[in-house]
A and B are shown apart, each in its own frame.
Chain A
Amino acid sequence: MPEFVLTVARFGFLILLWIFVFTVVGVIRRDLFAGVRSKSIVASPRGVGGAVPEGRPAAKAKRGKAARQLVVTAGNLAGTRITLGEAPITIGRAEDSTLVITDDFASARHARLVPRDGQWFVEDVGSTNGTYLDRGKVSGLTPVPLGVPIRIGRTSLELRP
């Protein structure tokens, strides 16, 4: 084998190796940016999450401003955001809840948020310590205005536009 061919092969291999590394990084990068809209610890399920940018909530502009996000403002999960869709959101300690809160004062299945014609309603689903909307205890379906805290144990949640 001529020396020239060996040199080309040797450096060609190294370059290919690095191209492979960068291709891998490229795939990961796309993957990272795809999930950047929902920075939640609790990945949002399909139809609720920001992973589907085109599937924005259809219910909007009925009362001027519609809720687009559920934000945890206090508690262990503070900072978590869930982009709202049309699906109800279950909250509790059970691992199959939409928002799994690790709060000592929350029940396994604590509360539920459901949309009706663009308005979100909160409902307690038989929790031990109750769900509070601002100061009042929630019983039955209660409409949730924007920016009013829903309190579950030590956790507070708010709807944001």
Chain B
Amino acid sequence: MARIPGMKTQRNAELGLLAFAMVLVAAYGATVEAARIGEITATFWVPAALLSVLFLGLHAVVRYTAPYADPVIIPAVALINGLGVGFLRRLDIGDALSEKQPIPGIFSGIGGRQLAWTLISLILAAVLLLVVRDHKVVSRYAYTLGLTGIVLVMIPAVLPGSISEVNGAKLWVRIGSFSIQPGEFAKLALVSFFAYYLVRKREVLSLASRRVLGIDLPRGRDLGPVVTVWLLSLLVLVFEKDLGTALLYFGLFVVTLYVATERASWLIIGLLLFFGGVYVAYLLGDTVGGPFANFYDRAEVWLDPFSSANYNREFGSSYQLVQGLLSLGTGGLFGSGPGAGLPRFVPEVQNDFIFAGIGEEIGLFGLSALLVLYLLIVERGLRSALAVRDSFGKLVAGGLSFTLGLQIFVILGGITGLIPLTGQTTPFLSAGGSSLMANWLLIAMLLRISNAARGPAAGGAGGDRAGGGPKKAPAQLHGAMTEVIKP
């Protein structure tokens, strides 16, 4: 896209913020080494420097392909990602010290692996930005994407438990030591499909309604798709045994529906359906057991984690949740300092419980900073959704940012005991390739849409056409049908 002189791109602001973020990552590394090893080694800056090179690469791609994209998304995500790498390296150092091993190299252990995943994720994000020059193009492949999404969701459910089951939740595909979580990628595909579907149906869904008790209820036949997705997410709940994923897909659909139709009744219907379904699943787990038993156990653990019956359970014990809560409590307001905590008491501290591990060391004060950063990322996404001028872009940007926010809510709510714990990853922070790749792709898509939202209007304005660049006729989602009224 050609740059127009005088129009603010704010790319330099992004570069400055990115440099600041990397300084913070380096400072975190140094603090960890000072606290853990007792001295700052000569190589403390290397992970931060490597990350800087990677993010600079992405920054360059954005400068070239999406010059008007939002300037704060990349730095905020880069900081969270960098702190994640730093924390995982801190776990490596801690493990090596407790086993009297030498300090591990930069590229070894989970920290090194996370560094490699970051590289791959950023390459994927850059490729997406380079290939998809206009987000409307995605709507052409909506049905393919929708099918792909559903297949990706279903894969772990149909595979035998030995391949797909980890800690009771069937969300993975494991081949040897390598495992991916296809559901992470399904989010992106499903958002695009929902957006496309609702752009075409929004008029019917928002106009035809009956008014009951002050809220506009949609007609029975228009409820079809929302009921289908509700059933689908309940199937996910039952067969993949994961409330978080079910909540994610269902919430995603309901919110996209709400954004498309501007009707609060969809939110009310959605919430009632979901909580009703979950409550029935809980009751069935109590009486029938079988596929519902896992969810029942989790709900029991959530209701009373500190009871000895739940703590001493053989399967699905509340041990992890309790350790996480104790970690957060030990951290208190200001934390024990980076590198000075005892994260290894919490099982899975590198994955689901990374927030508890980090929280112990940076305290409520630091955690709230991280949460504000997440909030800002989501806010920038929603802002792009407001500003972009086509309905498909609005729904995709709104859906993607909401998914990101909902996922953070689900895992954080789980760790802090607000909702039953489920095995979601913390975006950009947790160890693991699937989550990192999928979320960076999500960010790339948001950047692409925010570029369209903040950039000059592509054509249409007649003589004062903004800038050069090829002017293709944009895809007409509505068609150009006009009703004739007789005078």
Contacts and interface: CB of A to CB of B under 8 A. Distances in A.
Interface in A1-22: 1, 5-7, 9-14, 16-18, 20-21
Interface stretch (A38-46, A65-73, A141-149): A38-46
A23 B24 CA distance: 13
A34 B362 CA distance: 35
Interface stretch (B92-100, B415-423, B479-487): B479-487
A47 B73 CA distance: 28
Contacts of B480: 93-94, 107-108
A104 interface: yes
B463 A13 contact: no
A97 interface: yes
A88 B464 CA distance: 8
Contacts of A129: 482-485
A9 B31 contact: yes
Given A9-B31, A20-B79, A105-B482, A47 B461 contact: yes
A24 B373 contact: yes
Given A9-B34, A105-B483, A28 B376 contact: yes
Given A9-B34, A13-B362, A129-B485, A46 B456 contact: yes
B474 A95 contact: yes
B338 A10 contact: yes
A98 interface: yes
Contacts of A31: 10, 71
Contact of A105 (B366, B372, B463, B485): B485
Nearest to B83: A17
A17 B24 contact: yes
A20 B21 contact: yes
Interface residues of A, number: 55
Contacts of B4: 46
Interface in A29-57: 31, 34, 41-48, 51-52
Which of A10, A21, A107 has the largest number of chain B CB atoms within 10 A? Answer: A10
Contacts of B31: 6, 9-10, 13
Nearest to B475: A95
A50 B88 CA distance: 47
Given A20-B20, A52-B6, A129-B485, 17 more contacts: A6-B34, A9-B30, A9-B34, A11-B334, A13-B31, A16-B24, A17-B24, A18-B369, A21-B373, A24-B17, A27-B71, A28-B379, A43-B389, A46-B457, A90-B460, A96-B474, A107-B480
18 contacts: A10-B35, A10-B337, A16-B27, A18-B369, A20-B21, A23-B17, A24-B373, A28-B379, A43-B453, A45-B457, A87-B463, A87-B464, A95-B474, A97-B460, A107-B482, A108-B480, A114-B462, A129-B482
Interface of A: 1, 5-7, 9-14, 16-18, 20-21, 23-25, 27-28, 31, 34, 41-48, 51-52, 85-90, 93-98, 100, 104-108, 112, 114, 127-129
